């Protein structure tokens, strides 16, 4: 990729002299993320240290679940108010394909590993888009109330569809991703065939029909903090959410919640820079990305939440929880004991089909 004038500016000045850069930057940076314990982990690992070193105030916006729609609207209005946005990989690909996120020269903009390994090699195949800077590997999986599932705790993701063995409300994210794959898998479709089947009209109907069997028992969520709260309040017997949210509820809050790792959906989360920023704002955003995604910062984030850092060089630095003092590695979705049956997204498939499946899913919800 050809290095832009702006990334050249960051590579030649900002990254070599962050304090000098800070003196020339505006004193605010609007960063969009997911809220809850995840945003708290970002604040502790790099937002607060960045502000301390540069004086730049970080404004947190918790709108990542609506990032694609809002960035589209901002671009159409010609008024982009966000500087750095945390999105899942498939959304980054969509925004990049639509020209709504800027391409990034990873090796020029991002810090190399401590041993000199270029960023592009350190992140490796997790760089799924030229607009995407990977941050963490996480999973969407299930939590359940240990005191509401009887004598036999669920071990299969298909327990979500078993109302006889596990009666009660469930919580599921209000989107087709995950739900359609789990529905087809629990209807007998092999993991390797999920996207081939989902790519047909009949496959979509089959997935929705399986979800119909529990539809009247589902509480639909849009924010990752909802399922842990619903579980804590006893309003649902089991529900999906991000593994880090469940870790927080179990390990930090001592809630009576268990983890179900079967068919956890591996995903990537990371940063994009919206298209349409002024040169000054974009330089500031790139400067922040260089800081927030270096080897130590990504390892530091794992002190506060059980998400695996996206850099290979960060993994050996993952240690104990900052407050609890427990080893974090066994709580990562990538730990071998947790990853015996994993679902891996087809990012390109979802980038190509998300809008269509969203429309069909919302129409099904409205019935």
Whole-number pLDDT of residue 330: 86
Q: Report the CATH number that the domain containing residue 238 is assigned in CATH.
A: 3.40.190.10
Q: Would residue 109 count as lying in a domain?
A: yes
User: What are the per-10-residue average pLDDT scores of the chain (367 residues)?
Assistant: 38 40 65 92 96 95 94 96 95 95 97 98 94 95 96 96 98 97 98 97 98 98 93 98 93 95 94 96 96 96 92 91 91 88 91 94 96
The answer on 185 and 127 residing in a single domain is: no
Nearest CA among 48, 54, 38 for reference residue 87: 38
pLDDT of residue 14: 41
In terms of domains, do 101 and 62 share one?
yes
What is the distance between the alpha carbons of residues 206 and 280, in angstroms, rounded to a whole number? 50
Residue 83 is encoded by which pair of tokens?
């500087």
Q: What is the signed CA dihedral for 153, 156, 157, 158, rounded to 10 degrees?
A: -100
230 and 176 in a single domain? The answer is yes
Output the pLDDT for position 110.
97
- State whether residue 263 is helix, strand or coil: strand
Is the same domain home to 316 and 200?
no
9 within some domain: no
Q: Is residue 253 part of a domain?
A: yes
Q: Where are the alpha helices (DSSP H) in the chain?
A: 5-9, 18-24, 36-42, 48-54, 67-77, 89-97, 106-109, 119-123, 179-186, 194-198, 201-212, 226-232, 243-247, 279-292, 295-301, 347-366
User: For residue 129, what are the domain limits?
Assistant: 28-137+268-331
Q: Give the per-residue pLDDT at 26.
A: 60
User: Based on the structure, what is the number of domains in the chain?
Assistant: 2
Strands 218-221 and 238-242: unpaired
Considering the entire predicted model, what is its pTM? 0.76
* pLDDT score of 234: 96
């Amino acid at each position: 990729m050809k290095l832009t004038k702006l990334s050249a500016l960051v590579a030649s000045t900002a990254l070599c002299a962050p304090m000098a850069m800070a003196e020339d930057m505006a004193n605010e940076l609007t960063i969009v993320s997911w809220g809850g314990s995840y945003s708290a982990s970002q604040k502790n690992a790099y937002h607060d240290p960045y502000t301390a070193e540069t004086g730049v105030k970080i404004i947190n916006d918790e709108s990542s679940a609506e990032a694609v729609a809002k960035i589209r609207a901002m671009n159409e209005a010609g008024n982009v108010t966000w500087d750095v946005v945390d999105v899942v990989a498939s959304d980054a690909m969509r925004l990049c394909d639509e020209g709504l996120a800027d391409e990034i020269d990873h090796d020029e903009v991002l810090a190399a590993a401590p041993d000199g390994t270029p960023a592009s090699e350190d992140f490796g195949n997790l760089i799924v888009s030229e607009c995407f800077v990977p941050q963490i590997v996480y999973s969407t999986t299930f939590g359940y109330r240990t005191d509401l599932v009887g004598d036999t705790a669920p071990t299969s993701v298909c327990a979500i569809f078993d109302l006889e063995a596990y009666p009660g409300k469930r919580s599921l994210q209000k989107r087709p991703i995950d739900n359609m794959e789990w529905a087809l898998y629990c209807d007998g479709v092999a993991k390797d065939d999920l996207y081939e089947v989902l790519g047909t009209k009949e496959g979509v109907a089959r997935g929705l029909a399986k979800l119909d069997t529990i539809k009247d028992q589902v509480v639909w969520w849009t924010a990752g903090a909802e399922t842990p709260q619903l579980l804590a309040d006893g309003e649902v017997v089991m529900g999906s959410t991000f593994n880090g949210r469940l870790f927080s509820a179990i390990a930090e809050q001592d809630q009576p919640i268990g983890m179900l790792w079967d068919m956890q959906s591996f995903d990537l989360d990371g940063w994009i820079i919206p298209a349409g920023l002024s040169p000054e704002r974009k330089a500031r955003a790139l400067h922040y990305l260089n800081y927030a995604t270096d080897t130590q910062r990504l390892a530091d984030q794992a002190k506060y939440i059980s998400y695996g850092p996206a850099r290979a060089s960060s993994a050996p630095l993952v240690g104990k929880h900052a407050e609890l003092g427990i080893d974090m590695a066994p709580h990562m979705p990538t730990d071998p004991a947790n990853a015996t049956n994993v679902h891996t997204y087809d990012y390109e498939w979802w980038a190509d089909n998300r809008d269509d499946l969203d429309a069909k899913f919302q129409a099904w919800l409205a019935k």
